[in-house]
């Protein structure tokens, strides 16, 4: 890339994290493009200052310096890269692709092998931090890949992240760290919901319990963040129940593949599956508290 040429990036998948990351790229002065299947997301990003948006990137792929993938799962990554309107065949050789969806390590390795066939380097780079930090350019990146790929993606990483952890050079290592992280995140949400549900059953005001826990040793970032949603009676999905059905499913699959017991993660996974089965799959992941019957929660009918 010429020093005189603006750095141009596309963000594929404009959900809560992708939209925040794209807006952070714009704020950092990068020429930003967006791809999504939802017209309302494309319109929002265009209004925010994107130079180009579309349901595919065929119109601008050859001008890109980097690709950031933030769809929901590995299948959507494959479709975005290699499907009928996939962007990969239209990128200039050497264009780095940063895969930041939460996927299994085997999926990350498969994506890297297919990109390598087209001379496209990949960074296995899942992210964490939620939509608020994404919008501030302060997400955490846990990445694996070649040092030169990190270098090529430097302007993008600087725009979207507060911390970049270089896990190693082997593709799959970043995804494995993210899956282990999601074990903690999912279990924390599930146990936080259980604690609030128990307080409700015991007649303890939920605001009182929240105030105590957030000022005591039992607190966690997930308790403080997600249980505020419960107190507000607001289950607008920033990260949905079904996201944790998927992510904790990956945790369980990883444990099985390694023949390693993870009973607490398996129980948490079953709680999210139950909540999804009860109709809360598209709601905020804090709606896992709806597993518990016989309790009164904020926002419930009188």
- Measured on CA atoms in the order 62, 64, 65, 67, is the torsion positive or negative? negative
Q: What six digits make up the tokens of 233?
A: 């009676």
Which of 145, 170, 195 terminates a domain? The answer is 170
Same domain? 159 vs 239: no
Is residue 131's pLDDT more than 90? no
Which of 130, 151, 170 terminates a domain? The answer is 170
Asked whether residue 298 is domain-assigned, the answer is: no
Report pLDDT digits (tens) over 257-298. Answer: 999 999 999 999 999 999 999 999 999 999 999 999 999 999
Closest by alpha carbon to 184, among 221, 213, 218? Answer: 221
Same domain? 164 vs 200: no
The CATH number of whichever domain residue 106 belongs to comes to 3.40.50.720
Same domain? 85 vs 52: yes
Same domain? 92 vs 120: yes
Same domain? 155 vs 247: no
Q: Catalytic residue, from 163, 178, 246, 296: name it.
A: 178
Asked whether residue 257 is domain-assigned, the answer is: yes
Which of 136, 170, 204 terminates a domain? The answer is 170
Same domain? 208 vs 125: no
Same domain? 107 vs 147: yes
Whether 259 is a known active-site residue: answer: no
Domain of residue 274: give its range: 176-291
User: Can you give the pTM of this predicted structure?
Assistant: 0.93
Same domain? 166 vs 219: no
The CATH number of whichever domain residue 228 belongs to comes to 1.10.1040.10
Query: Per the structure, how many domains does the chain have?
Result: 2
Report pLDDT digits (tens) over 76-108. Answer: 999 999 999 999 999 999 999 999 999 999 999
Asked whether residue 26 is domain-assigned, the answer is: yes
The count of other CB atoms within 10 Å of the CB of residue 297 is 16
Same domain? 187 vs 250: yes
Report pLDDT digits (tens) over 34-76. Answer: 999 999 999 999 999 999 999 999 999 999 999 999 999 999 9
């Amino acid at each position: 890339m010429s020093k005189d040429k603006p750095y141009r990036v596309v963000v594929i998948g404009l959900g809560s994290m992708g939209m925040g990351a794209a807006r952070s790229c714009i704020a950092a002065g990068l020429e930003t493009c967006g791809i999504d299947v939802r017209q309302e997301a494309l319109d929002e990003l265009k209004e925010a200052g994107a130079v180009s948006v579309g349901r595919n990137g065929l119109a601008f792929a050859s001008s890109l310096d980097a690709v950031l993938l933030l769809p929901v799962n590995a299948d959507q990554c494959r479709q975005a890269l290699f499907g009928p309107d996939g962007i990969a065949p239209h990128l200039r050789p050497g264009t780095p692709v940063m895969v930041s969806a939460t996927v299994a390590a085997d999926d990350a390795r498969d994506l890297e092998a297919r990109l390598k066939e087209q001379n496209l380097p990949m960074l296995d780079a899942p992210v964490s931090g939620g939509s608020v930090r994404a919008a501030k350019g302060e997400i955490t990146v846990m990445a694996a890949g070649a040092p030169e790929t990190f270098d090529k993606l430097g302007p993008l990483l600087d725009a979207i992240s507060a911390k970049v952890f270089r896990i190693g050079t082997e593709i799959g290592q970043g995804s494995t760290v993210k899956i282990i992280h999601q074990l903690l995140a999912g279990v924390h949400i599930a146990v936080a919901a259980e604690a609030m549900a128990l307080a409700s059953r015991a007649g303890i005001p939920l605001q009182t319990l929240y105030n105590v826990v957030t000022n005591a040793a039992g607190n966690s970032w997930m308790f403080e963040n997600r249980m505020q949603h419960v107190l507000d009676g607001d289950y607008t999905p920033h990260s949905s129940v079904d996201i944790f059905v998927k992510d904790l499913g990956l945790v369980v699959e990883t444990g099985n593949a390694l023949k390693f017991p993870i009973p607490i993660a398996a129980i948490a996974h079953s709680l999210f599956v139950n909540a999804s089965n009860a109709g809360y799959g598209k709601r905020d992941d804090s709606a896992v508290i709806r597993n518990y019957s016989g309790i009164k929660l904020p926002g419930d009918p009188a």
